[in-house]
Amino acid sequence: MSNPASAVAVLLPGATPEQSGAVLGAMRAVAETGGAATRSDRLALEGAARYVFGHAGPFTFADLTPVTPAALKAALAGTNLGNDAAKFLTVMALVDGKLDRAKIAAVLRYADALGISERYLDEVREAAEGHLQEALADMTRCNMESVTGMPWEGDVNAWLVPYGGAGADPALAQRFQALKSLDAETFGHAMWRHFTSNGYEFPGEPKALNVVFSLPHDSVHVLSGFDTSARGELLASTFTAAMHPKFPMAGHILPVIFSWHLQVQINKVAGEASSALDPVVFWQAWAAGAAATVDTFSPQWDFWEHVATPLEELRAHYSIPVDGVEQAATVR
């Protein structure tokens, strides 16, 4: 077994071999809708086997039998695994960086068989049917409600960058700048370094992001260790989705997959890129977020209470690998 201080716990350790095999088999079937599985598909299945279900030893794709919707329903009967399976299947349909209508239709057949009806499924259905802007608008609403804790109606871009002109808040910016004086190993200094090394303005400065979003989001980057590349943003948001229970798929995972993997810009701040989904570490980030005992987006969490705590100590306290998630190993 790996050292707990440097390990990521398996996401679903209680699944039986038959149940995990059925979920992975259904994921293979989605991947192979309309053609052979790609290298990314195979890596995604290997990563899910390892980080979601804790399968030890080498992964052999050929040993994985495709599973029909009816067979998946039978294998998962009497459990709550259907909800997880529907999420995994949705991701699997998007691994190749394409919005494939046939793959989405396959996912929806599995969801129907499992009796799963969720907002994120409505979003991918809308997108696959050509109603992309409607789907993106709903992802935005879900994301903003998840971040703010309130129903959302308004101008996202204006909310995200509120400190221009009369909105400047020099006192808030100074509070962040003062983090430089803390010891180098502390969480607060690490946050200061995160902002300055990336060339970000501090909340309160004209081009900075709203502290309501920036503080919890950038805290995830620092705590998890994921960088701010397109790949790192996708992984940080996946960690967030598992950590923060409000619209995890509809408000976090799908928006970043669309932004950073499918090259669809949701808003001016989010940006766009392609092929940013790391098919293995994605599942590791999901498992790590689920294992974390902190929710930085919770109204009860106060960043300023922890700025003087050494980062490694804080990670250990929150059940996050002390060296960051990407350096971690799974518990075997």
State residue 136 phi and psi, 5-degree precision.
Answer: -65, -35
Residues 1, 155: Cα–Cα separation, whole Å: 49
Residue 17 pLDDT exceeds 60: yes
Residues 6-18 have a mean pLDDT of 94
Q: How many other CB atoms sit within 10 Å of the CB of residue 256?
A: 25
The predicted-structure confidence for 89-136, as pLDDT tens digits, reads as follows: 999 999 999 999 999 999 999 999 999 999 999 999 999 999 999 999
Cα 262-268-274 angle, rounded to 5 deg? 20
- Summarize the chain as % helix, strand, coil (round to 5): 60, 0, 40
CA dihedral of residues 7, 8, 12, 16 (deg, nearest 10): -30
Residues 186, 312: Cα–Cα separation, whole Å: 8
The one-letter amino acid code at 151 reads: P
pLDDT band at 328 (very low <50, low <70, confident <90, very high): confident
Residue 6 pLDDT exceeds 60: yes
pLDDT band at 243 (very low <50, low <70, confident <90, very high): very high
State residue 327 phi and psi, 5-degree precision.
Answer: -85, 0
Residue 269 pLDDT exceeds 60: no
List strand residue ranges (DSSP E) for the chain, in order: 7-8, 329-330
The predicted-structure confidence for 169-218, as pLDDT tens digits, reads as follows: 999 999 999 999 999 999 999 999 999 999 999 999 999 999 999 999 99
pTM: 0.94
The pLDDT assigned to 266 comes to 59
Q: Which residues, 6+ apart, have CB-to-CB distance to 323 below 8 Å?
A: 6, 225, 312
Per DSSP, the chain holds a count of helices (H) and strands (E) of 16, 2
Residues 130, 135: Cα–Cα separation, whole Å: 9
Q: What is the CA radius of gyration of the chain?
A: 20
pLDDT band at 268 (very low <50, low <70, confident <90, very high): low
State residue 330 phi and psi, 5-degree precision.
Answer: -75, 155
The predicted-structure confidence for 276-288, as pLDDT tens digits, reads as follows: 899 999 999 999 9
